Amino acid sequence: MTTTVANGNGGSFGRFWAMTVKEFIQMTRDRITLATMVALPIMQLFLFGFAINTTPHNLPTAVLMRENTDVGRSILAALQNTDFFQIRSVVTRAEDMDSILQSGRALFVVEIPEGFERSLRRGDTPSLLVAADATDPVASSSALGALTGIVASALANDRQVEFSEPTKPAFSIVQHRRYNPAGSSTLNIVPGLLGTILTMTLLIFTALSVTREVERGTMENLLSMPIKPLEIMLGKIAPYVLIGLIQSLLIIGAGLLVFHVPILGGPASLAAATTLFVITNLSIGYTFSTIAANQLQAMQMAMMFFLPNILLSGFMFPFAGMPTWAQWIGEALPLTHYIRIVRAIMLKGANIQTLAYDAIALACLMAVAMLIAVRRFRRTLD
């Protein structure tokens, strides 16, 4: 009786061990799944450890100098020497300031008004004006908090400026939070959610399109038809374009009615940008479906692409505060450009012409994805 039980236990362990070895062999043969398991935690470690910064620095800034004086130049030099601000341009007209903020080329415009130095020397406590793009409240609040100390240090080091009352503030800073005066995070999040939700759903929709045909055994019929790879791709993408636009209408409608997010720009510009973004994501998802061998691999590739999109696009963390290498990666992601476009149109009243750089970048990403997908499409089942 004892021998029978031992043999039974030994046989159970042998079957368990055989199943374990078989699973390891199968795992190593599925290279995409194995690469995903290894690459995903490494990607998360590097992105959260090096790319994500909740206290952003080197924020793009412009200076509106209404007078060219020693004090003005001292303030400009102080801003250039700090790591909070990165001076992108120096302008002399208010119209240029509005254009820079609306297009997103700068998040801040520091205005040195006329008569600032004269009032400073007379001890009148003049005001330094700061216009901030408050569509990203996190980025603007931290930099505005540092601005007072930076300017005060610049004036203290300027030996030509003498103050009769050391305890009296030499100047004051007047802040204008453009496009989001209350600093509401809802106005920042809802437009970003539009792009994030579209990215997640559309990638999955089309990432499964070709692999589904293979697993269902209908690929043979598709390949036997007198149809070109480009025509197959466009035919598979077209229905999902309509679905993506319906999703967009639902999200934008909820933003308007529930969260009171305005649309200050033209609806035509928003519709054109959204259509371009939808097609770009569908093209990328279709590319994944031509590379993956099955639906599981296609899903894994879609999620691997979605992770850097949500972390490096400026949706969750300030884009301008990321290191240069992370910004370069972000510039290659469709969600980065769409979030800039949709926030500028809805909150700033910009049009698609003002946002030409991001629109062209989306179009280029779409063209590259379509080219890769057509070239990768299998004309045979091999």
Alpha-carbon radius of gyration of the chain: 28
Each residue's pLDDT tens digit, 243-252: 999 999 999 9
* pLDDT at residue number 341: 94
Highest mean pLDDT among 19-28, 29-38, 92-101, 148-157: 92-101
* pLDDT at residue number 364: 95
pLDDT at residue 1 above 50? no
Each residue's pLDDT tens digit, 70-99: 888 888 888 888 878 888 888 888 888 888
Each residue's pLDDT tens digit, 28-83: 776 766 666 777 677 767 776 766 666 677 888 899 888 888 888 888 888 888 87
Mean pLDDT in the chain? 81
Alpha helices in the chain (DSSP H): 2-29, 31-46, 70-81, 94-103, 116-122, 137-157, 185-207, 209-216, 219-224, 229-257, 267-291, 295-312, 324-331, 334-343, 356-376
- pLDDT-based confidence at residue 147 (cuts at 50, 70, 90): confident
* pLDDT at residue number 274: 95
- Report phi then psi at 354, rounded to 5: -65, -30
Length of the chain: 382
Each residue's pLDDT tens digit, 359-378: 999 999 999 988 888 887 75
Each residue's pLDDT tens digit, 251-270: 999 999 999 999 999 999 99
Q: Are the C-beta atoms of residues 73 and 118 closer than 8 Å to each other? A: no
Q: How do the domains of the chain map onto residue ranges?
A: 59-178, 185-376
SS3 state at 101: helix
- pLDDT-based confidence at residue 169 (cuts at 50, 70, 90): low
- pLDDT-based confidence at residue 107 (cuts at 50, 70, 90): confident
Task: Look at the pTM and tell me if it is higher than 0.85.
Answer: no
Closest CA to 203 of 242, 244, 252, 233: 244
Q: What is the topology classification, in CATH, of domain 59-178?
A: abc type-2 transporter like fold (3.40.1710)
Strand partners, 86: 60
What's the whole-number mean pLDDT along residues 341-346? Answer: 94
- Reduced 3-state DSSP string for 196-230: HHHHHHHHHHHHCHHHHHHHHCCHHHHHHCCCCHH
Q: Are the C-beta atoms of residues 27 and 33 closer than 8 Å to each other? A: yes
| C-alpha span between 39 and 300 (Å, rounded) | 11
What's the whole-number mean pLDDT along residues 262-280? Answer: 93
Q: Give 124 or 140, the one with higher predicted confidence.
A: 124
- Report phi then psi at 79, rounded to 5: -65, -35
- Report phi then psi at 226, rounded to 5: -80, 70
